[in-house]
Amino acid sequence: WCKSTGFLSMLPEDANARRKEVLEKEMEQTQVDKHFHPVDPDSKPLPYTDDRYIKEAAIQWLIETDQSISAFEHPSFQHMIHLASRATRSIKIPNRKQMHDKIITLFKMQMTKLKDCLNI
């Protein structure tokens, strides 16, 4: 009668059986195949080619950060723009603390390399 009418029995045996069924489903090992999908080679995102938007964004960055116009010619800036233009997903820009920590780590690595090079 409970199943035919959709009644949810709260008897201890029934509640324990439902709980056990849920736990068994959660403990079941899943396969990785469900998470992967075949990729169509034609569905790759096209490289960003509209120069107008890139130029406008670069000029706005230059003005708002009070940079020299020669910053655009710097190889590291061009390398950064080249890498960003090839990204297929959005790029997560680190916050100030993360950048500070990374710069300190790079500095310490450079000092260690310099120390090894000079044999001090």
Render pLDDT for 3-60 as a digit per residue (tens, 0 to 9). Answer: 788 888 888 988 899 888 888 877 766 666 666 677 676 666 555 556 777 788 888 8
* Domain range annotation of the chain: 2-42, 49-109
DSSP H helices in 1-120: 2-5, 12-27, 51-64, 75-85, 96-118
86-90 LR contacts (CB < 8 Å, sep 24+): 86/47, 88/44, 88/45
Residue 77 exposed, middle or buried by CB count within 10 Å (0-12, 13-18, 19+): middle
Distance from chain centroid for Cα 65: 26
Angle between helices 75-85 and 51-64 (to 10 degrees): 130
Q: Can you give the pLDDT at residue 50? A: 65
Distance between CA atoms of 35 and 26, rounded to whole angstroms?
17
The pTM for the full model equals 0.44
- List of residues 6+ apart from 85 with CB closer than 8 A: 47, 48, 54
Q: Can you give the pLDDT at residue 31? A: 65
Distance between CA atoms of 77 and 46, rounded to whole angstroms?
22
Coil, strand or helix: which one is 72?
Answer: helix
Task: Identify whether the C-beta of residue 85 lies closer than 8 Å to the C-beta of residue 48.
Answer: yes
Q: Can you give the pLDDT at residue 44? A: 61
